[in-house]
Chain A
Amino acid sequence: MRVLTTFLWYLLLICGAILMLLPFAWMILTSLQPATTTLTMPTNWLPRTLQWVNYQHVWQLAPFTRYWLNSLLVTTTTTLGQLFSSLLAAFAFTHLQFYGRRFLFGLLVALMLVPGELLLIPNFVTIAQLHWVNTYAALIIPWLASVFMVVTLHQAFQSQPRSLYYAAHIDGASDWQYLWHILVPTNRPIITAVAVLQVIASWNAFMWPLIMTNSEQFRTLPVGLMAFTSEQGTNYPLLMAASVCVILPLLILYVCLQKYLMLGITQSRWKGSTQ
């Protein structure tokens, strides 16, 4: 019985996994096609000769190194900053008593619902007034807060036994120390999860960096992808090669961080011997 259900679960997961994997596989395969044979699939979607040169072209066609460094800088700083501000806020909502707590929280949740497109231009005006156009500040500072992250973290923090907070207090930890020494390490999986989500969002951000910066110097990878489409058509293999270059670092990061995402499972007390 148990074997059967396990088998069924595997079957389900594998089917789903194929669906998830397929488009990605297509991306990689396309990126290795010569330009002229694209889109004549599916008959020969395994190219006879793999065009690794596509990747070389990608790197030549646009200043990808620069983009890459910018993306790296923007992503790390926004993620860290966002984590910082969100952790503080989530902590305050979880453990501190203050006037207007529920109201403020409700308000923040409401802000989660604001369509971003609507805010783009007013924000650009603000950025311009701050003289931040074409600076890293424009790419980073507005993203240092995320309501979604606050809500998620708050939710996770709430399910932690309160006695830990009390114990830490008695042990002489201030709120600040409790936050960093106890709350953060014990919630590593969820924190890693939201951080990863943020990394991806910020790595893939397109409109914002495009609007907020004017010169190549500050452009990020997704903006770089523009080089491969034009008004008249798209060079699919190159675009896909470039896309792979954009996505790959994220995947690697994700695989590396998975250890933390799964922490809850591996640390459970009855590991190994549980059925």
Chain B
Amino acid sequence: GRQTATPTPAKRTTVTFWHGMTGTSQQTLNAMIRDFNHSQTQYRVVASGQGNFANVQQKITAAAKSQTLPTLAQTTYTNVPDYLHGKFIVPLNGYISKRTLNRIDPTLRQVSQYQGKTYAMPFSKSIGLLFYNQDLLRQLHLTVPRTWHDLVRDAAKAHAHGYTGLALDQTFRPQWSALACQAGTPLVAKHPRLSSPQMLAATDVIYQMIKHQTAATAGTDGFGNVRFLKGKTLFYTGTSAAIGIMQTNTPKGLHWSAAKMPSFRGNPRVYAVQGNELVMFNSASPAQRRGAAALMKFLLAEKQTLKWAKATGYLPLTTKALRSQDYRNYLAKNPAAQATVKSLPYGKPDTAFYGYSETQNAATQVADELATLQTTPKQGLAQLQRKLTALQTDGE
């Protein structure tokens, strides 16, 4: 009924939006944007998929260089300092009220701040989980591990029975990162202290598992869930975003579920939060910026964020939505997703800083070398520390 009242589209402000969603996520997103466009008469959001996340980054780099940026784009908050250095990102303050922002779940909200301003709006977020094969667990008379210690033991047992204990994704940096946090210092930080014995112990956990073949990285499969879903793997650590694709790819007769990640040496639990944010660029006109803000607000509406979460497996963004009946019903039907919500309060995202991606890359490299047993944790950490120190002095 409202469409009839819409003025001619020419009068609307066009808001361009680049994202890296594909498949179902993209379809859902498109539907939501269609809804947004119908919900008001001032703005028209044009969303376009730019391939995968890496492609979106490339496009943003290219567009920033040539000053052809869209109004807003999907990216990770860790890029914010870099973008700010390039002077092409604008804070959301002034376009989105504090009240609205406060509706976002506190864990997720942490990421939106940089140097006292809000730059990023959480969008497609997920959290690390431990998936387990229910059939195998029962067969081996095991229960879901609560600590890494348990996990190591269980995995060894599985290995003894000819199974793979733990499947990791291509890189185990997120898990390592979380372990490191629990060991006292974040892995990817401006001034990490990697030489502590705690840190060494945290690194050694996964290293030893790989070395004893109780854990395996996905290597070139990209995703540990491919191996996991073949039914010969007891555990898999991945992010909650994988739930959707895992469900469609599950062969008949395989039963799995997910739990919170185990804790390390009884330290406070910390889980890796992953996913993407939305940012707004300064090349956009004030009207466009307002439009972008309107879209963000729209996406934060309970109805929309729930729709998003249910269709894609990403987290609902607002506290209210997380607690809503609707979502609880959904969780009841998707027990695997329950662990997500339980993990969320313990999530601790890395702090963004200028040069983050380089640092993270260096960490990934060391993780890869550890995974291929080319280096030992001690050497690896020393090497990383050296490298990061060099990076920092370079940057200054």
- Whether B23 lies near A228 (C-beta < 8 A) is yes
- Whether A232 lies near B66 (C-beta < 8 A) is no
**CB-CB under 8 A for A231 and B53, given A36-B250, A128-B68, A214-B18:** yes
**CB-CB under 8 A for A230 and B245, given A39-B230, A210-B50, A214-B48:** yes
A211 vs B26: C-alpha distance in the bound complex, in angstroms?
19
**CB-CB under 8 A for A229 and B52, given A36-B251, A211-B62, A214-B18:** yes
Query: Could you say which residues of chain B place their CB within 8 Å of the CB of A266?
Result: none
Q: Judge if A56 is at the interface, Cβ distance under 8 Å.
A: no
Q: Judge if A193 is at the interface, Cβ distance under 8 Å.
A: no
B62 contact from A36, A124, A223, Cβ within 8 A: A124
Q: Judge if B241 is at the interface, Cβ distance under 8 Å.
A: yes
**CB-CB under 8 A for A39 and B23, given A214-B16, A231-B241, A232-B244:** no
Which residue on A lies nearest to B251, using beta carbons? A36
Chosen A-B contacts, 23 in total, with CB atoms closer than 8 Å, are: A36-B248, A40-B230, A121-B62, A121-B65, A124-B63, A124-B66, A125-B62, A128-B67, A129-B66, A210-B51, A214-B18, A214-B48, A214-B70, A226-B49, A226-B55, A227-B23, A228-B23, A229-B52, A232-B223, A232-B242, A233-B226, A233-B249, A234-B222
A39 vs B249: C-alpha distance in the bound complex, in angstroms?
11
Within 8 A of A (CB), among B235-257: 238-239, 241-242, 244-246, 248-252
- Whether A37 lies near B248 (C-beta < 8 A) is no
In the complex, which range does the number of interface residues on chain A fall in?
A: 20 to 34
Query: Could you say which residues of chain A place their CB within 8 Å of the CB of B21?
Result: 230
A223 vs B59: C-alpha distance in the bound complex, in angstroms?
14
Within 8 A of A (CB), among B41-64: 46, 48-53, 55, 58-59, 61-63
A124 vs B154: C-alpha distance in the bound complex, in angstroms?
53
Footprint of A on B, CB under 8 Å?
A: 16, 18, 20-23, 25-26, 46, 48-53, 55, 58-59, 61-63, 65-68, 70, 222-223, 225-226, 230, 238-239, 241-242, 244-246, 248-252
Residue-wise interface mask of A (48-84) relative to B, using a CB-CB cutoff of 8 A (1 in contact, 0 not): 0000000000000100000000000000000000000
- Whether A36 lies near B252 (C-beta < 8 A) is yes
Assuming A121-B61, A232-B245, what are 13 further A-B pairs, CB within 8 angstroms? A36-B251, A128-B66, A128-B67, A214-B59, A214-B70, A216-B49, A226-B55, A227-B22, A228-B22, A231-B53, A232-B238, A233-B225, A233-B242
Residue-wise interface mask of A (160-204) relative to B, using a CB-CB cutoff of 8 A (1 in contact, 0 not): 000000000000000000000000000000000000000000000
Which residue on B lies nearest to A232, using beta carbons? B242
A39 vs B251: C-alpha distance in the bound complex, in angstroms?
11
Most buried by B among A38, A229, A232, A233: A232
Query: Could you say which residues of chain A place their CB within 8 Å of the CB of B52?
Result: 226, 229-231
What number of A-B contacts does a CB cutoff of 8 Å give?
96
Q: Judge if A235 is at the interface, Cβ distance under 8 Å.
A: yes
Shortest A68–chain B CB gap in Å is 18
Which residue on A lies nearest to B50, using beta carbons? A210
Q: Judge if A133 is at the interface, Cβ distance under 8 Å.
A: yes
A229 vs B24: C-alpha distance in the bound complex, in angstroms?
11
Within 8 A of B (CB), among A22-53: 35-40
Shortest B58–chain A CB gap in Å is 6
Query: Could you say which residues of chain A place their CB within 8 Å of the CB of B26?
Result: 227
A230 vs B22: C-alpha distance in the bound complex, in angstroms?
6
Query: Could you say which residues of chain B place their CB within 8 Å of the CB of A234?
Result: 222
- Whether A229 lies near B22 (C-beta < 8 A) is yes
A232 vs B236: C-alpha distance in the bound complex, in angstroms?
13
3 A-B pairs with least C-beta separation: A128-B66, A233-B245, A125-B66
Shortest A67–chain B CB gap in Å is 12
- Whether B48 lies near A215 (C-beta < 8 A) is yes
Which residue on A lies nearest to B46, using beta carbons? A215
Q: Judge if A120 is at the interface, Cβ distance under 8 Å.
A: yes
- Whether B25 lies near A230 (C-beta < 8 A) is yes
Most buried by A among B23, B58, B241, B248: B23
Which residue on A lies nearest to B16, using beta carbons? A214
- Whether A211 lies near B59 (C-beta < 8 A) is yes
Query: Could you say which residues of chain A place their CB within 8 Å of the CB of B59?
Result: 210-211, 214
Shortest B301–chain A CB gap in Å is 25
- Whether A120 lies near B48 (C-beta < 8 A) is no
- Whether A35 lies near B249 (C-beta < 8 A) is yes
